[in-house]
Amino acid sequence: MCNKKHFIIYMSVSFYFSYLFILPYVFDSIDAHRVVSMFLFCGISLATYLLKLERLSILHLYMIGCFSFIYGRYFVGSFFEDYSDFTLGYGVYYHPTSLEITNSFFLFNTGFFFFWCGIALFIKRNDHLTVICNGKEKIQDFAKKGCVFTFLILACCLPFDLYNKIISVVNYGYDGLYISQASYKFNFLRLVSIVLPVSFSLSLFSKSKKLVLIACLFVFVYSVLLLLVGARESIITWVFCTLWVYDHGKSKKVSSLNLFLLFTLAVLISVAVEAYRGNPVTHGFILFDFLYKQGFTSVVAIPAWHMSGYSIYSLITMLVPVGGIFSMLGVIKSSIDINLFNYFAFSLNPEFFNNGHGLGWSVFLDIYHLSQKNIILYFFLCFLTGISIAILNNETFKKPFFGMVFISLIPKIIYLPRAGLFIYSNNFFYYSLFICLLLLLYSVAIKFINLHGRKRVKI
């Protein structure tokens, strides 16, 4: 657990957090809330540094995600009036009240803090990935054979998946990638989104440089081609995931300078893709424009905090991937019942939603509605979700199975501040199930080979 130094850090941050939330209410100003939020993030960033974890832990990736998708907009809005707008445009314009904006600050800051506490309190300094499979030849053999099998699946499915995406973009523009959000149906090509991360994690446990290289090639080709059709999430999250793997696979840590250069590269990629999609830099400096636009999550949250009327099935599918089962049973008849952000986007502007326009979402919004808007339960669930990530991170360096699942999940965890809870919980289930199936196939194949070998000896 925590030593004395950690306890002092946590108590200091808690006091700092409580004190800062007195100030904005005294001044009753949106600007005060924005500045306080910025200082809160800086204070927790300092506490993260004082924890003396490995240079790029999952906690650092969480902080990078929160800054990029939420706090960056608060930061630039504190200094430049052009970046201080809270109007939500989605075909129609939503102009929030001061109270709604104030509530969004409070809910984001508290959710961010308790989520951080869950990770920080339980995360441990980790060993190198290279020592996980030492003396475990069976794990390495399974990983090698699993890699070959997943590569065959990717070689068959990946070209069709990319072809369908390219055709959609050619016919409908960038929004064509998401035009299917208005309907819910099974597509076997979604298998790529499960197999690709698992193949990457398996290659790391195989201890084969050739297999790692092939897995990286699949990831690179897939991410770059998605980038060419206007989707930037994949390449940015995979770059940070690869950096995390590199950082845990070498005795020499990734320098802060390299991390900053990588973040700068991610910004440039994002801005370039945004311009390619017809949204060039509109507010001057590239970095500020990036933080302003990516921080749109903080604006979406303002009306989303108090939405109601959604189906109970949206909360269930948030935790477990049973949307397909509900759909077959006829319980769910529309995609707006699959998750909360579909429901929210549809309720704002059905026509925009049906045409493939997205809004973005946040794990904090999902947890808030999962808690039924109970603030205490919201704090607890944010804390509990952070703990689950920390425990999974710790088990990665003890048990290869959890390591394979966790590494597959890293790109999703980075994106949590911009996406829903389901991309973490549902994909945890998918990756675990797929790896279990691979283990079952491997065990059956080994038994068959051994049995076949004995029969040949008897002859």
What is the reported pLDDT for 163?
80
Domain ranges of the chain: 129-451
Instruction: Give the pTM.
Output: 0.87
Residue 88 DSSP one-character state: E
Give start and end residues of each alpha helix (H) in 51-185. Answer: 58-66, 72-79, 98-122, 137-172
User: CA-to-CA distance for 62 and 85, rounded, in angstroms?
Assistant: 25
Tell me whether strands 88-90 and 92-94 are parallel, antiparallel or unpaired: antiparallel
What is the reported pLDDT for 4?
44
Q: Cα separations (Å) of 414 from 108, 240, 292, 340? A: 17, 8, 19, 20
Query: Which residues lie below 8 Å from residue 305, measured CB to CB, with a gap of 6+?
Result: 100, 103, 104, 107, 365, 368
- CA–chain centroid gap for 28, Å, is 34
What is the reported pLDDT for 129?
64
Residue 71 DSSP one-character state: I
Residue 139 three-state SS: helix
What is the reported pLDDT for 437?
94
Give start and end residues of each alpha helix (H) in 371-421. Answer: 375-396, 400-414
What is the reported pLDDT for 440?
92
What is the reported pLDDT for 335?
75
Cβ atoms < 10 Å from Cβ of 187: 10
What is the reported pLDDT for 458?
40
pLDDT tens digit at each of 459 positions of the chain: 445 456 556 666 665 666 556 655 565 677 777 888 888 888 888 888 877 776 688 998 999 889 988 898 888 877 776 666 777 777 677 778 888 888 888 888 889 988 998 998 888 876 566 556 555 788 888 989 999 999 999 988 888 887 877 777 777 666 656 655 555 565 656 788 899 999 999 998 888 889 989 998 998 888 877 777 767 777 788 888 888 887 776 655 666 666 677 767 766 776 676 666 666 555 566 777 777 877 888 888 888 888 888 888 888 888 888 777 777 777 777 778 788 888 888 888 888 777 767 777 899 999 999 999 999 999 999 999 999 999 998 888 788 889 899 999 999 999 899 888 988 999 999 999 999 999 999 888 888 777 765 544 343
